[in-house]
Chains A and B, each alone.
Chain A
Amino acid sequence: MNFLQQLHLPDEKRLRHWLPPAVAVIFLFAMLAIASSITTKTQISVGVVALAVFLILRQFNEQETVRVIFLILAAFLSIDYFYWRTFTTLTYHDPVSFLFAMLLYFAEAYGFIVYLLSIFVNVDPLDRKPLPLPEDGELLPSVDVLIPTYNEDPELLEVTLLSALDINYPKDKLKVYLLDDGGTDQRCQSEDPEFAAAAKHRRLELQSLCLKWGAQYITRAKNLGSKAGNINNGLHFSNGDLVAIFDADHAPTSDFLQKTVGWFRHDPKLFLVQTPHFFVNPDPIEKNLQTFSTMPGENEMFYKVIQRGLDYWNSAFFCGSAAVLRRTCLAETGGLAGDTITEDAETALTLHAKGYNSAYIGTPMISGLSPETLTSFIGQRIRWAQGMVQIFLLKNPLLIPGLTLPQRLCYFSSCFFWFFSYARVAFMLAPLCFLIFGLKIYDSNFVDFAAFAVPHLLAVVIVSDFLFGKVRWTFVSELYELIQSVYTLPAIFKVFLNPRAPTFKVTAKGETLGDDYISPLARPFYFFLIFNIVALIFGVTRLIVTPAESFPTGITMMWAGFNVFILLAAMGTLFERRQRRATPRMPITKSARVKLGKKFYTAEIRDLSIQGCGLVLDPAFESLFVEGSSLEMTIPDDPQFQEATFHIAIRNARREPGALFVGGQFEHASLEEMKLKVLLVNGNSQRWTDFQNSRERRIGVIRSGLFLLALGVRFSIQHFGHVMLVANSKRAEKSFETSQQSA
């Protein structure tokens, strides 16, 4: 044993892991030590130069070195700000002011920590490519596909099952299991005869479905452990080397295993390959603001940037679906961990702590459904928030043994993020404290604020755009977080009171909405909006009455104005639009041939869903393609579908400039046609990638702000118009009833 070994120094590999963050932290603290001894004037110079450099460097964000310079400079400015914020602006005036000052400070501290962690996590996102599989199928590991279900529609399940069965993989190495928790013995023997009958009916229906398509049906005696318990039961009855898990509404593409299994062969310590969740329908916020086809989806920030960043630090975690896991690793933890309601992340954390690796492939290879209503959406987010807070409390990544420092920071970042609800509510109410109640919650003068806070705030916005601008437009995060915060905050509080209390609740999918209506979740946001507008009015009064306080009043009014801006967009999202299709049609460009009667016509498929498609034809045939007619469609250019014929009933036809658009519904005549239809709709991952890419673009901070402002104004007007309409109609109904009674 040499001298160095005797010192128990970390080996070179570990040193390499630790060195960058250690160097960064030491350096930043050294800079801070100097910064703490310089004056405001010097700080202004630093801020001005740094911002100028920011604006130049952001043009070169693809260059890795520039990216690192950019992020370290941003971190320096923010640490400098927070040092000043901590040691200069927290002043005691009176108990109430101090209380609210501290509440605001904690909210800022949250933002500061999350921001620094975000810089660390995303310093160098990994773009991992799939590894090719060997041509000899014998060398491939066997794979079990597990599809847990609880109460989903059998029609939806059938699509998922068929997609799973269509996966391109040696058939003798692939088994598909439907894990039904809706037809357990416990439910079938329920004391409620109606409930028991429904459960038995579901069991029989799904059993026949599996029998029809060649999948295995598995259920169990009791609904123990929710989704994790269901999957663990499935693991017990299956034996493949690898396990692919898909939610009931997550239909995989045919190349799913082709692009994921290769990494398991390459790295024997790999326990997980996670892929993105791709949704074919808009989430309620996208739907209500009508941004689905124009703006990047909400989850793209996570799946296109953050998971890649986590992957760089070997911290990409299991997201519950669209992932492949190694059975032997799962066996070490007794299956999926079940202490929390986010069993997926918890399992990944446990296996990372055991020294196993994870990987993330950024290609979307499943198509799923977002929750359709805000209520379902919030319910889903409450579960995630509660689950991650449970991990924070019960299995805190900073404390549990086995993780590397970067992994600890990454997991901590993932858990700690979910406290955003506290920060959002605090930021929403803070301007009121000063403008309405005159509480002194932030002690600063103009010069100091300009020197320390302004560079930090601008840096935060610029860095956010720099890191995520393509996939998350500026201020969109604020909107999403605000909508969730009011409801996740009490849920998190409950977790603190009893960390083991939360239970798994299945998110409703595939709902349709018949009419427009105001979401029942809207009430707190009315209060926020009213309070902030009142605060602005108070602010104007303050400006007139106490002009000497124009600086703090002006700044706080800008803050309240920003809140109003976000709240207007929130008003738009809270006006629920009707949803006609449970499975919306996704765009596609594919040439086809249609046969109407005995004649063939050239057409182009414009959109496609599991229920139907949209075709574009020559407008000259307008008189032929009428509602109610039937036609047959073939796709001669695609070898995969050369033999296939799809039967379609025309549901509508309309003239468009230079084209005839025909909307049709699939009417499959055979099992084979059904199977091919699923393959056509869900089989191609490139289609999902293309769709994502079509929305992915950076529009910049100002345009993004204007975009959101326009949406907010437009849809909040509609929101309040609808409120007045409903109120008027109720009033009219009431007066009609009164007149009837009096008559």
Chain B
Amino acid sequence: MTMTPQPKRKPSPCRGLAIMTLFLAALVPAASAQQARVPVIPAAEPTVPMAPPSPFSPATATAPEPAFKSQVQSFRLPLRRLIPLDSPMMLRNASSIYTVFVPQSARFQAKSYGLRLKFTNSIALLTERSVLRVVMNDIIVAQFYLDRTKPFSDVDIQIPLNLVKTGFNRMQFIVAQHYTYKCEDPAAPELYTEINPDESYLTTTGEWKPVTERLSFLRWWIDEKLWIPYQFNICMPASGAMTDEHLSLGAIVTQGIALAVNNQPFRVTTATALRPGMDNIVVGSMNELAPFLTATEVGTINGSFLAIKSLPGDPTHCMIIVSGRSPQEVKQTALALGMVNFPLPDSKYAIVDQMTMPENAYVRNAPMRLPGVYSFRQLGFQTTTIKGWNTGTYMLKLYMPGDISADDKSNVELRLHFVYGAGFRKDSVFNVFVNNQFQTAIRLKDVEGSLHSDHRLYLPMQAFQPGLNEVSLTPKMIPLVTNQCEVLQDENLQFTLFEDSDFVFPKAMRKARLPNLGLFSQTAFPYSAPPDGIETAVFVGGRAPETACAAWTLMGKMAQISGALLSNTEISSKLPRSRKSLLIVGPRDEIPPEVLAKAPVSPLQVGKMRYVVSTSPKPEKYASSPIEEFLLKVRGQSGERSEPEPPSTANLNMTADLIDDIVAVQFESPFHTGYPVTLVTAWDADNLLAGINVLQEREFWDSLAGDLAVWSTRPNSLAVAKVGNDFIFKATNLVTRVSSRFDQQPWFFALIVLVLIALLALGVRAALRKREHPE
């Protein structure tokens, strides 16, 4: 697969006019036309022959479709895409396995599969006994000697088509590595082989399958297993003047698609007509969509209407109709489409009679409710036994709220229920990691084996980050007899962790310190809190379709992060001033000046920005203990800094306007204290959309940090900085601000409590004295 970015479009004032003209021309026949002409944008990209629309029912078919010739295409998928970013594919020890899961979409009919594998093995290996084998779905597809004399290998492997199934295919790289014929240390450091994930890649050749005109098939059609970003066009015939309603519908549809493709990138365009070469989602009321429908079909619409059919002239792409008799019904259909996990009927179309949204929106990545006790079972863990030496890790994924604080000193309690076998060496341990950082361990010291029913461990809350957290529990089991040249018995190395083990989360400190684009990228916080986005407002600057697409893409990405549809988010081309977290997306000329005025740096002229200057880091505290702090205060010095100081900056005046760069900056709202504005802008709408599309890639998205990010469509172009001042999210009322202050200075808080109690006591005492006293 090639990771070619979208071709950059230069601003073209004529293009919008052309679209409008076509649209107006197509409007004329309208609802009564049985053989309506479907508005189609001339193909600027690989042309797909266009044909008259095909009706839903074969009985009403009046025009034969010309034969569509499917094209054979090739794709390439680097192994890097299948493993964590920046993680090596290292195979160590005498035996080791590395597993990846290869996606295969139901839409693609592969004709061949191949693997280009580039790896480096140790020059200390005994070639005759060192082998790398490649296994696809448990079948060996290739094996190689690890030749010490040729440590750098580059091999091509053909994978039999029958081994590759639709869905995720388990591909394993398994090594047996030895350095001697005699007895050896199986964990010797010279036993290694490393696969280069950036230069190793899978290839496939094949063609796209025709659309199955069934709504139930949408679950497989809008597919995360595509090797390229899923591309679709939102066709809204009436969106020539993009209204807030259109923005809202487009946002819902885009998020629904984004959720359907899980965390994979996607590309959205919008137009008033169909676009060839991609799936089209046609959104509009019954009357607006008349050109796309036959009279019979129009007559079928007696409510919220959802349908699927092939794109005219292109059976490999679909047209999804999102319609209804009224705007409310159209919105309801869009929401139904957004409920990607909801199984749709096995028919060409469906009427959504009624849809009730749950009180608490469905959230795929729902954060923990703190405090609370969660069993492992609730977290998707099932009782599992790990056998043998270095053979596995229990992994639990936890989604923490976006506003947990790094200052929180409380502990998470882990109540483990596990059993381990007999005959362990006394240095066997059960290690606990949070986000790959070691936290604590249990020594598996009982040679006879042991059952622990409520073994309690404590993990610092600070080890957890907002958003996704991985807790890995690794039993390191070592047999009692490990002498070299003795047969190693590892059948006794058994460890079972039970699903009724618990996490006990404390009442964590909830205090999000903003701006923080890193927090935004990890959790979409605070825009996804609550997950239905009711406390979020999006301002779309200008009416260019690309700007709308940029905003929708960003919302789609946020939906992917939180796992929920931002169904109640306010989206508008007028600047919302409600008490909400604000997301502003638009080209530079459309950004409201009052918002720009509050930004710590003008995103319009990044060349004139302040750059962080490296200075000696100032200590966060000057005193190491309360007593020392007290003494410092007595001397008239401050022992503790209340707030981290903003980074030292230097003003560098370089006049350079935005040309290719895209800028994201987050700061406190000029309208409401304690609420953030995240502003994403570029020179023009095209640049903006291209930039946001690039931003979806892991290398960019996962690297967001600070409060300012500048990037272009070039690889590795992202630069981040922290230039503005911090504020506490929603620290709007006195209690929150006071509480936050106290939290930083607990001794001060204790003093305040005492003073207030003394004042109260004086008041009560005075009141008691005023009572009618017999004395």
Contacts and interface: CB of A to CB of B under 8 A. Distances in A.
A443 interface: yes
Interface in B561-578: none
Interface string B711-752: 000000000000000000000000110110011001101110
B411 interface: yes
Interface string A17-56: 1011001100100010110011111101110111001000
B772 interface: yes
A225 B302 CA distance: 82
A440 B757 contact: no
A124 interface: yes
Chain B: number of interface residues, binned into ranges: 35 or more
Contacts of A48: 750
A69 B758 contact: yes
A45 B739 contact: no
B413 interface: yes
A63 B522 CA distance: 58
B749 A23 contact: no
A445 B746 contact: no
A64 interface: yes
Contacts of A549: 454-456
A636 B389 CA distance: 102
B361 interface: no
A598 interface: no
A34 to B, nearest CB: 6
Contacts of A552: 456
Contacts of A76: 753, 757
A37 B749 CA distance: 12
Chain A: number of interface residues, binned into ranges: 35 or more
B458 interface: yes
B371 A88 contact: yes
B18 interface: no
B409 A24 contact: no
Interface in A345-368: 359
A548 B761 contact: no
B771 interface: yes
A88 B762 contact: no
A16 B771 contact: yes
A27 B772 contact: no
Given A69-B761, A445-B413, A19 B746 contact: no
Nearest to A91: B373
A45 B747 contact: yes
Contacts of B413: 445
Nearest to A68: B761
A68 B760 CA distance: 9
Interface in B486-538: 504, 506-507, 509
B753 A72 contact: no
Given A34-B738, A34-B739, A42-B742, A127 B774 contact: no
B410 interface: yes
A348 to B, nearest CB: 17
B750 A49 contact: yes
B755 to A, nearest CB: 10
B61 interface: no
Interface in B439-458: 442, 452-458
A88 B774 contact: no
B770 interface: yes
A474 to B, nearest CB: 24
Contacts of A527: none
Nearest to B736: A37
A72 B757 contact: yes
Contacts of B506: 40, 88, 448
A718 interface: no
B763 interface: yes
A443 B504 contact: yes
B371 to A, nearest CB: 6
A41 B770 contact: no
A37 B739 contact: yes
A445 B411 contact: yes
B183 interface: no
A53 B754 contact: yes
Interface in A521-572: 546, 548-549, 552
A16 B746 contact: no
Given A19-B767, A88-B371, A123-B768, A42 B749 contact: yes
A73 interface: yes
A447 interface: yes
Contacts of B72: none
Nearest to A41: B409
Contact of B735 (A37, A44, A127, A359): A37
A311 B757 CA distance: 26
A97 B456 CA distance: 17
Interface in B347-375: 371, 373
Contact of A17 (B453, B454, B771, B773): B771
B746 A64 contact: no
> Would you call the interface of chain A mostly helix, strand, loop, or mixed?
helix
A50 B768 CA distance: 24
Contacts of A239: none
A438 B761 CA distance: 44
B764 interface: yes
A76 B750 CA distance: 12
B86 interface: no
A315 to B, nearest CB: 13
Contact of B743 (A27, A39, A124, A440): A39
A548 B743 contact: no
Contacts of A87: 371, 507
B762 A45 contact: no
A601 interface: no
A318 B683 CA distance: 88
A702 to B, nearest CB: 25
A329 B458 CA distance: 65
A703 B644 CA distance: 50
Interface in A404-440: 438, 440
B757 A69 contact: yes
A405 B407 CA distance: 44
Contacts of A40: 409-410, 506
A50 B509 contact: no
A546 B455 contact: yes
Interface string B61-80: 00000000000000000000
A68 B766 CA distance: 11
Given A87-B507, A440-B454, A20 B764 contact: yes
Contacts of B594: none
B615 to A, nearest CB: 30
Contact of A88 (B456, B507, B765, B770): B507
A626 to B, nearest CB: 56
A11 B68 CA distance: 93
Nearest to A545: B450
A709 B608 CA distance: 79
A548 B738 CA distance: 38
Interface of B: 371, 373, 407-411, 413, 442, 452-458, 504, 506-507, 509, 735-736, 738-739, 742-743, 746-747, 749-751, 753-754, 756-758, 760-765, 767-768, 770-775
27 contacts: A13-B772, A16-B771, A19-B767, A23-B760, A27-B756, A31-B756, A34-B738, A37-B739, A38-B743, A39-B408, A39-B409, A40-B506, A42-B743, A42-B750, A44-B746, A45-B749, A49-B754, A50-B754, A64-B765, A68-B768, A69-B757, A72-B764, A76-B757, A87-B507, A126-B775, A445-B411, A548-B455
Interface of A: 13, 16-17, 19-20, 23-24, 27, 31, 33-34, 37-42, 44-46, 48-50, 53, 64-65, 68-69, 72-73, 76, 87-88, 91-92, 123-124, 126-129, 311, 359, 438, 440, 443, 445, 447-448, 546, 548-549, 552
Given A42-B743, A438-B453, A546-B452, 15 more contacts: A16-B770, A19-B767, A20-B767, A23-B763, A24-B764, A39-B408, A39-B743, A42-B742, A46-B753, A50-B754, A64-B768, A68-B764, A88-B506, A88-B507, A127-B775
Q: Which 6 A-B pairs have the closest CB atoms?
A: A45-B746, A49-B750, A42-B746, A69-B761, A68-B761, A20-B767
